[in-house]
Amino acid sequence: MAATTKYKNRIEILQGTLDMLILQAIERQPMHGYAIAQRIRSRSGEVLTVETGFLYPALHRLERQKWVKSQWKLTESKQRAKFYQLTALGKRQLTADHQRWLELVRAIGSVMQPEVQP
Amino acid sequence: MTPSPWDRAKQSLSEELEAHLKLAIAERIANGEDPSHARAAALRELGNVPLVQDVTRERWGWSWLENLLHDARYALRQLRRSPAFTATALLTLAFGIGANLGVFQLLYAVILAQLPVPHPQELVRVHAARSPFDQGWQVSYPAYQRLRAATPDVPLMATAYVQNVSIELANHASIEASSRLVSGNYFSGLGVAPAAGRLFVLADERIGQDVWPVVLRYEFARNTFDSAQQAVGQHLLINGRAFLVIGVARRGFFGDITGFAPDTWMPLALQSTDAFAVPWDSLGPGHDVSLDKPWYNQPTIFWLELTARIPPQRRAAVLAHWDQAFRNDREVMTEATADPSAKAALLRVTTAAVPLSDNGMRKRFTAPLTLLMALSASIFLVGCLNLANLQLARLHARAHELSVRMALGASSGRLIRQIVLEDALLVAGGSVSALVLGRAASGILIRWASNRNGLFTLDLHPNLPLAALGAGLMLLSLLCFSILPVVFFIRSGVAQTAGSRAKVAGISQTARQRWRSNALLGAQVSLSLLLSTMSACFTATLVHWETVNVGMDREHVLIVHPDFHQPRYTKHADMLPELYSRIQQRLQALPGVRSAAVEMCGGIHCGWITALYAQGRSDLTDTQVHGQEDHVGLGFFSTVGIPFLRGRDFTSSDNDSTQRVAILSRSYARQLFGDADPIGQWVGYEPAPNDRKFLIVGEVADARVNGARREPPPMVYMSINQNPAPINSIRVRAVGDPSQLSESVRQALHQVDPALPVGEIVPLATELNGDLGTETLLARLAGIYSSLTLLLVGIGFYGVMSSRAVRRKAEFGIRLALGATRGHIHRLIVGQTARILLAGMLPGALLSIFAVRAASHVLYGSVTANSFAIVVASLVLASAGSLATFIPARRAAQADPLEALRIE
C-alpha cells in the first residue's frame, strides 16, 4: 500500500490531525489541493509537510463524509483546478476537532510540566 | 460510448493531480528556479502518481468492485483459453445440479408438499367401511348425509371420481378434460379461495338444474380462456349438458389427490343426469340397486369418498359420533357376503381418520424417488470429484505461471480469489443451465413415471426448498472442485518453488499430491460402481417385466378402443351381438389378421370384482368367492392367446335363449372347486338357492390381465352374446407386427359402421408396458446416470494418467535408455490404473450391496441375484478405465530415450 518515507528533519503530522489541518486551511475560502499543502507548510513555519499521497486520499474521504465539497474553477494564474470548500457539517466538525485538540495540548502540557517541589 | 461515472471520476482525479503538478512548477519558476529543474523537483515532491491515485480511489469505497471486475475479466479470459475444461465443467455442473433439481422437484411435489390451504394438517380422509367388492372406502349418499347431519359444525366433504368429460365451447374444437364431482362445501371446507368468480355453495347441490355450475382449475382456465377472469361467465356444454363457469379456484390448487389434478369440479348432483360415468360399488346382484335411477337416495350404491377438516383435539370425539351414525350402513354392507367371519370383521371396523399424505401415490413413489435422489446425489458427487481432479491437474499445469506471479508480489489471497472467481463463473453458468435442465427433467420424469393412460399432474412451480437446494448445490460444488483444491494447492507451496520450469514439472508432484488425486479417482470409481450396479439391476428388472410370460401373446395382439357408449348402441343392446359378429368377420378378412374378438374390458386392469358361489359348496370364504369378471366375444381366447385347459370355448349357439355358460381361469377354478374338474359344475352370483345360474363349460390358463407386474387374477369369462352390452375393446391378432395393421383395421371398422368412433389403437405390449412407470423411471434414469459416470471416470483416468505421463516423460526416456522395454512402461501406467480401480471397487462393491439390499422391494429377483450385477458393472467399469488409460500409456511408451537424455 502507500509506502511511507520518513523525513527525519520534519515532524510527522500527528495521526488524526490531518483532517483538522485541512479543514482549518480552507475555513476562510475555498482552495485547491496544492494551495492547501502550501498553506499548511507556510503556516507551520515549514515544519509540517503534507504529502500528496496523504493529502488527496484525505480530501476525497472528507468529500465522501460531506465535510467539504468541491468545484472546478480557474486560479488567478488561469489554471483549472479543483477547489475544496468547507460545508456546514465540516465547520461543525472543525470546531469539535479544534476543541478536542486544545484539550489534548493542555493535558499533554500539564503532564510534561516539571513538577513544582513544595 | 459515454464514459461511465467511474471513468469520469478517474479522469477527474488525474486532472486534479496534473493541476497540482502545474501549480507547483509554476510557483517554483516564479521563485526563480530553472524550469527543467523545477519540473523534476515538483515531480519528485508529488511522488508515485499511480499510487496516489490508487490510494485516493480506495477512499471512494468502490475499489473492491473495481478489483472484482478486473478479476472477472481475467477469469473469462482464462476460461476462454481452456475450452475443453470449461465445456466439461459446464456440462458436468449443469447435469449434476440439474438432475438433483429435477428429481427433487418431483420428490417435493409427491412426498413433501402439503395442500396449499390453511392448516392442511387438519384435513383427513374418513374411512368408514370398505366397499364389498372393490374394497375402496366409498360410502353411499344417504350415509354421507347422515354423517354430515351428525356433526353440523365439522366440514365433511364428499367427492366422486368421474371419467374424463368432453367440453364443447362456442367456435372451439371439443376438449377432453379430467373432472371430479364434489359436494357444495368442498372448497369452503378445504379453505380454497377463488382466483375469480365464486366457488361452490350449498345451493349448488340442488338436483335437476337447467344450467349447471362448474369451477375450473386455474391453469386449465388460463390455457382455455387466456385468463381466470375471462373464464367466469362462459357457457359450455359438458357431455352435452349446459354449464356456466361460476369461478376459478386459486392458483396452485391442484385438488386434494396427489398426482391427479382435475381440470374441472362439478356438483355431485350431476350424477342424476346420467351423462357422466361414475365408478361405483354395491352389494351385488339381487339387492335393491337401480343404477339407472338417481343414486342420492340409494343406500346400497357406494361412490363417495369422504374428506373432513377436524382439529386434532376433537378427532376422537367426532369419529365416535360418526361411528354411531354409520352403524346402520355397516349392517347393510354385511348383506354382500355370506361368509360369517367376513360379516363379523365388517362390523368390527371403526371409523378412522387418515392423513391426506397417506395416499397411494406417496406409497408407490416414496421408495423409488428416494432412491433416485440418492443416485442423483451420487452423480453430483462423481461430477465434483472429477472436476476437483481436473482442477488439480490444471493447477499443476499453471504452477509455473502462478509461482512467477507470487514471486512478483501477488498475494496468495488474490490468486485464490482469482481462481475461485473463475470457477464461480463456471458454477453460475452451469447452474443457469441446470435450472432449465431440471425444469425439463421433471416434466420428462413425470412422463416416464406416469401410467400410459393417465399422465400425473403435479405442481412444478419453483418453490423455496428447491431454490435452497439449488443454492446449496452451487456452493457445495464450488467448495468441492474449486476452493478446497486451490487452497490445498497454494498452501502446499508447489507454486512457491519458483524458478525453473523443469523443477516445477519434475519434482514438485510429491507423493501426497499423487495420493490425493488417486484418492479422488478411487472415490469416483466407487460411486460409479454403485451407479452402474443400480442401473444394471433396474434395467434387468424392467426387462424382466417387459418380457415376463403374461399368459397371452403379447407380441402379436392389437387393442382397438371403439366408443360404443352412444345412445344408438346402448338403447338397442339386443342388436349388438349381430354388429360384433359383422365386425369380427370383416376384420378377420383383412390380410395379415389371424383372428379378432370383442371384449368388455378396455385394457389391462379393468375386469370388475365379482363374487361366484359354487353350488354345493357353502363352506367357501370371502377370499375364495371373490374374483374378476369379463365378458368376451367368440374367439376371444384364441385371439389373445390364452390356452384352453379343459372344456370348450363359447359358441354361436350360446345365446340369449340358451343356458347361461361361463369359463373359469385355472386359479378361480381351484379357488372354487379345488382340484376337482370344474366342467359341468354350477355357479351363481348369490349363495344358495341362487347358486345355480351359470354352467361352467371351460377352463383356461391364467393370464396377467391386470398388467405384467401383477399376479394373474382369478377370472370368470362370460359370453357377451348372452349379456349384450357395449364393449370397450376389440382385440386383433396379427401374423406379424401388429402395429402395422392399425390403419387397415381403422378403415375396416369405418366400412362396417361409419358412425362408430374409434379411439386409440395400441399393441398389447405397449398397453402392458404402460403400467411399468416406476420401473421405467428407475431404469432409464439410472441408465443415463451410469453412462454419464462411466464417461466421467473415463475422462478422469485419461486426464490424470496423461498429465502423469507427460510429467514423467524424461524418467521414462531414461528407463528406456537403461534397458526397460516399452512393455514395461506400458505396464507401469496401466498398473497404476489397475490399482486405483481395485482400490475403488472394493468399497464400491460394499456400497452396492447395501444399495441393492435397500432397493430390493423395487427390484425383481433376490438380493443375491441382483448382487451379480456388481460383477458385470465392475467389468464394464474396469474396461472403461483401462480404455481411457490405454492412449496415455501408449504415448508414454513411445518416449524417445535420446530426447530425454538431451533434456537432462
Percentage, residues of chain B above pLDDT 70? 96
In B644-755, where does DSSP find H-type helix?
Answer: 666-673, 742-752
> What's the confidence (pLDDT) of residue A2?
38
- Tell me whether residues B23 and A80 touch, CB distance under 8 A: no
Task: Name the residue with higher pLDDT: B580 or B571.
Answer: B580
Q: Is B41 on the interface with A (CB under 8 A)?
A: no
- Judged on CB neighbours under 10 Å (0-12, 13-18, 19+), B369 is buried
With contacts defined as CB-CB under 8 Å, which chain B residues touch A52? 17, 20, 45-47, 52
Q: Collapsing DSSP states into helix, strand and coil, what is residue B33?
A: coil
pLDDT tens for residues B636-664? 999 999 999 999 999 989 988 899 999 99
Mean pLDDT over B404-414 rounds to: 77
Highest mean pLDDT among B451-465, B475-489, B654-668 belongs to B654-668
pLDDT tens for residues B61-109? 666 777 788 888 888 888 888 888 888 889 889 989 999 999 999 899 8
Mean pLDDT over B162-172 rounds to: 84
- Tell me whether residues A79 and B61 touch, CB distance under 8 A: no
How much of chain A is in helix, strand and coil states, percent to nearest 5? 50, 15, 40
Residue B314 near residue B289 (C-beta atoms within 8 A): no
Distance from CA of B78 to the nearest CA of A (A): 27
> What's the confidence (pLDDT) of residue A8?
40
Q: Collapsing DSSP states into helix, strand and coil, what is residue B17?
A: helix
Residue A114 inside a domain? The answer is no
Mean pLDDT over B419-428 rounds to: 88
Buried b vs exposed e over B891-904: b needs ≥16 C-beta within 10 Å?
A: bbbebebeebeeee
> What's the confidence (pLDDT) of residue A118?
53
B370-374, B457-461, B603-607, B695-699: which range is least confident on average?
B603-607
Closest CA to B538 of B874, B850, B869: B869
Closest chain B residue to the Cα of A83, Cα to Cα: B16
Mean pLDDT over B123-132 rounds to: 89
pTM to 2 decimals?
Answer: 0.77
> What's the confidence (pLDDT) of residue B198?
94
pLDDT tens for residues B519-557? 888 999 999 999 999 999 999 999 999 888 999 998 999
Mean pLDDT over B424-438 rounds to: 90
- Tell me whether residues A57 and B58 touch, CB distance under 8 A: yes
Residue A37 inside a domain? The answer is yes
E strand or H helix at B497: none
Q: Is B45 on the interface with A (CB under 8 A)?
A: yes
Quick check: B191 pLDDT over 70? yes
Quick check: B1 pLDDT over 80? no
Task: Name the residue with higher pLDDT: B440 or B407.
Answer: B440
> What's the confidence (pLDDT) of residue B903?
64
Q: Collapsing DSSP states into helix, strand and coil, what is residue B110?
A: helix
With contacts defined as CB-CB under 8 Å, which chain A residues touch B24? 34
Provide the grid cell at B799.
486426464
Percentage, residues of chain A above pLDDT 90? 30
Provide the grid cell at A25.
486551511
Quick check: B269 pLDDT over 60? yes
Kindly indicate the confidence band of residue A5, based on its pLDDT and cuts at 50, 70 and 90: very low
> What's the confidence (pLDDT) of residue B510?
63
Quick check: B583 pLDDT over 90? yes
Quick check: B496 pLDDT over 60? no
With contacts defined as CB-CB under 8 Å, which chain B residues touch A57? 52, 55-56, 58-59
Per the structure, the count of domains in chain A is 1
> What's the confidence (pLDDT) of residue B192?
94
Quick check: B42 pLDDT over 60? yes
Percentage, residues of chain B above pLDDT 90? 34
Closest CA to B791 of B539, B524, B526, B530: B524
- Tell me whether residues A56 and B27 touch, CB distance under 8 A: no
Residue A67 inside a domain? The answer is yes
Kindly indicate the confidence band of residue B501, based on its pLDDT and cuts at 50, 70 and 90: very low
A1-15, B611-625, B662-676: which range is least confident on average?
A1-15
Residue B147 near residue B348 (C-beta atoms within 8 A): no
Residue-range definition of the domain harbouring residue A28 = 18-108
Which of A3, A51, A82 comes nearest B16 by C-beta?
A: A82
Q: Is B16 on the interface with A (CB under 8 A)?
A: yes
With contacts defined as CB-CB under 8 Å, which chain B residues touch A62? none
With contacts defined as CB-CB under 8 Å, which chain A residues touch B60? 60, 64
With contacts defined as CB-CB under 8 Å, which chain B residues touch A56? 13, 16-17, 52, 55-56
- Tell me whether residues B12 and A34 touch, CB distance under 8 A: no
With contacts defined as CB-CB under 8 Å, which chain A residues touch B17? 52, 56
> What's the confidence (pLDDT) of residue B126?
93
With contacts defined as CB-CB under 8 Å, which chain B residues touch A58? 59
Amino acid (1-letter code) at residue B348? R
- Tell me whether residues A34 and B15 touch, CB distance under 8 A: no
Closest chain A residue to the Cα of B9, Cα to Cα: A60
Closest chain B residue to the Cα of A54, Cα to Cα: B52
Which of A32, A58, A60 comes nearest B19 by C-beta?
A: A32
Buried b vs exposed e over B485-520: b needs ≥16 C-beta within 10 Å?
A: bbebbbeeebbbebeeeeebbeebbeeebeebbbeb
Q: Collapsing DSSP states into helix, strand and coil, what is residue B68?
A: helix
- Tell me whether residues A52 and B22 touch, CB distance under 8 A: no
E strand or H helix at B738: none
Mean pLDDT over B459-483 rounds to: 88
CATH assignment at residue A22: 1.10.10.10
- Tell me whether residues A38 and B27 touch, CB distance under 8 A: yes
CA distance B88 to B426: 10
Residue A43 inside a domain? The answer is yes
List Cβ neighbours of B813 (8 Å cut-off, separation of 6 or more). B895, B896, B897, B898, B899, B900, B901, B903
> What's the confidence (pLDDT) of residue B880?
87
Distance from CA of A42 to the nearest CA of B (A): 14
Measured in degrees and rounded to the nearest 5, phi and psi for residue B891 equal -65, -40
Quick check: B348 pLDDT over 50? yes
Quick check: A116 pLDDT over 70? no
Residue A84 inside a domain? The answer is yes
pLDDT tens for residues A38-88? 999 888 888 888 888 888 888 888 888 889 999 998 888 888 899 999 999
With contacts defined as CB-CB under 8 Å, which chain B residues touch A80? 15, 19
- Tell me whether residues B19 and A34 touch, CB distance under 8 A: yes
Q: Mutating which of A5, A19, A34 best tests the B interface, going by the most B Cβ atoms within 10 A?
A: A34
Mean pLDDT over B407-427 rounds to: 82
- Tell me whether residues B48 and A51 touch, CB distance under 8 A: no
CA distance B469 to B549: 43
B270-279, B448-457, B733-742: which range is least confident on average?
B448-457
Distance from CA of A105 to the nearest CA of B (A): 29
- Tell me whether residues B52 and A75 touch, CB distance under 8 A: no
Kindly indicate the confidence band of residue B678, based on its pLDDT and cuts at 50, 70 and 90: very high
Q: Is B43 on the interface with A (CB under 8 A)?
A: no
Residue B776 near residue B448 (C-beta atoms within 8 A): yes
Closest chain A residue to the Cα of B55, Cα to Cα: A57
Provide the grid cell at B23.
501549480
With contacts defined as CB-CB under 8 Å, which chain B residues touch A31? none
With contacts defined as CB-CB under 8 Å, which chain A residues touch B20? 32-34, 52, 81
> What's the confidence (pLDDT) of residue B67?
77
> What's the confidence (pLDDT) of residue A12?
57
Residue A75 inside a domain? The answer is yes
Closest chain A residue to the Cα of B22, Cα to Cα: A79
> What's the confidence (pLDDT) of residue B391?
85
The answer for B891, left when phi > 0, alpha when psi is -120 to 50, beta otherwise, is alpha
> What's the confidence (pLDDT) of residue A7?
39
Mean pLDDT over B14-31 rounds to: 87
Kindly indicate the confidence band of residue B415, based on its pLDDT and cuts at 50, 70 and 90: confident
Quick check: A3 pLDDT over 50? no
Q: Collapsing DSSP states into helix, strand and coil, what is residue A114?
A: coil
- Tell me whether residues A82 and B19 touch, CB distance under 8 A: yes
Residue A92 inside a domain? The answer is yes
Q: Collapsing DSSP states into helix, strand and coil, what is residue B612?
A: coil
Closest chain B residue to the Cα of A38, Cα to Cα: B24
CA distance B836 to B847: 17
Buried b vs exposed e over B114-137: b needs ≥16 C-beta within 10 Å?
A: ebebeebebbbbbbbbbbbbeebb
- Tell me whether residues B19 and A38 touch, CB distance under 8 A: no
CA distance B694 to B696: 6
> What's the confidence (pLDDT) of residue A113?
85
Distance from CA of A24 to the nearest CA of B (A): 20
Distance from CA of A57 to the nearest CA of B (A): 4
- Judged on CB neighbours under 10 Å (0-12, 13-18, 19+), B35 is exposed
Kindly indicate the confidence band of residue B3, based on its pLDDT and cuts at 50, 70 and 90: low
A17-31, B62-76, B864-878: which range is least confident on average?
B62-76
Residue A72 inside a domain? The answer is yes
B408-416 long-range Cβ contacts below 8 angstroms, 24+ apart: B412/B490, B414/B71, B415/B490, B415/B495, B416/B483, B416/B486, B416/B487, B416/B490
Measured in degrees and rounded to the nearest 5, phi and psi for residue B278 equal -115, 125
Mean pLDDT over B183-199 rounds to: 93
Q: Is B13 on the interface with A (CB under 8 A)?
A: yes
- Per-chain mean pLDDT for chain B: 86
| A to B CB pairs, distance under 8 Å | 67
Task: Name the residue with higher pLDDT: B260 or B51.
Answer: B260
> What's the confidence (pLDDT) of residue B380?
93
First to last CA, chain B: 55
Closest chain B residue to the Cα of A31, Cα to Cα: B20
Residue B493 near residue B395 (C-beta atoms within 8 A): no
With contacts defined as CB-CB under 8 Å, which chain B residues touch A82? 12, 15-16, 19
